[in-house]
Amino acid sequence: MPIARIIDYETTGVPEDEAPEVIELGYTDVNIDSRALGASWQSFARPRGVIPAVTKAVHHITEADVADAPEARELFDLLAVNDPQYFVAHNAKFEQHFTPDMGIPWICTMKVARIVWPDAPGHSNQVLRYWLDLPCDAARADPPHRALPDAYVTAHLFIALLDHKTPDEMVHISKYPALLKVMNFGKHRGTTFEAAPLDYLEWIRDKSEMDEDTKFSARYWIAKRRNGNDNAN
């Protein structure tokens, strides 16, 4: 029975911050053959440092919630229980940053969704949840920005993606930057990258907080235009 394990973490910060830590882990399994949901699991994790107020405002996890929990390093091995064939996460680069290498291939549902549904109004798991009308049970899907509910929503998204790509195709897509079609942010929302003003593409390329797919797409179309102009001359 091939299993994809859909994983989500809540943390004290993002990888670019100083020493961010995992404070909640959750997963929901998907049987790839039957596309049925399977086992689920959740645990708090006690950080060594503080939980900043800005991250509490996102997930509402406090020091009291994690006071009696084990540290995350004591919990990561549980992610490999029952030998899942794939780890899956939405923006998997984030979860991969914190997870020890276990030799299990990763699938990023955000990257795959950007390829499969380029015209979606956004590619967060919650936007896709409503845009695709995924059959989520609200009692399990809410609140967002908690590990188990987010893993549950992403599990439904992964099942929807199986209509378009095999798991191995998703693994391949997840290894590389995705070439995006439409901007779903900023003053040029709804504009294709191909048609966006050059100076705006250059701004995206140089804006460090933009994700790798967005910056890759900007670089691609900047180079495409410059090569086109050179050829025209």
Give one DSSP letter per residue of the chain, joined into a string: --EEEEEEEEESS-TTSSS--EEEEEEEEEETTTTEEEEEEEEE---SS---HHHHHHH---HHHHTTSPPGGGTGGGGGTT--SEEEETTHHHHHHHSPP-S--EEEHHHHHHHH-TTSS--SHHHHHHHTT----HHHH-SSSSHHHHHHHHHHHHHHHTTT--HHHHHHHHTS-----B--SSTTTT-BTTTS-HHHHHHHHH-TTS-HHHHHHHHHHHHHHHHHHHHH-
Q: Which pair of structure tokens corresponds to residue 69?
A: 């929990």
pLDDT tens track for 53-101 = 999 999 999 999 999 999 999 999 999 999 999 999 999 999 999 999 9
pLDDT number for residue 229: 62
Tokens found for residue 156: 């439904």
Per the DSSP assignment, residues forming a β-bridge with 138 are none
pTM: 0.90
pLDDT of residue 232: 44
Asked if pLDDT for residue 135 goes beyond 70, the answer is: yes
Complete domains list, the chain, with CATH: 3-174 (3.30.420.10), 177-233 (no CATH)
Separation of alpha carbons 125 and 130, rounded Å: 9
15-44 tens-digit pLDDT: 888 899 999 999 999 999 999 999 999 999
pLDDT for 124 beyond 70: yes
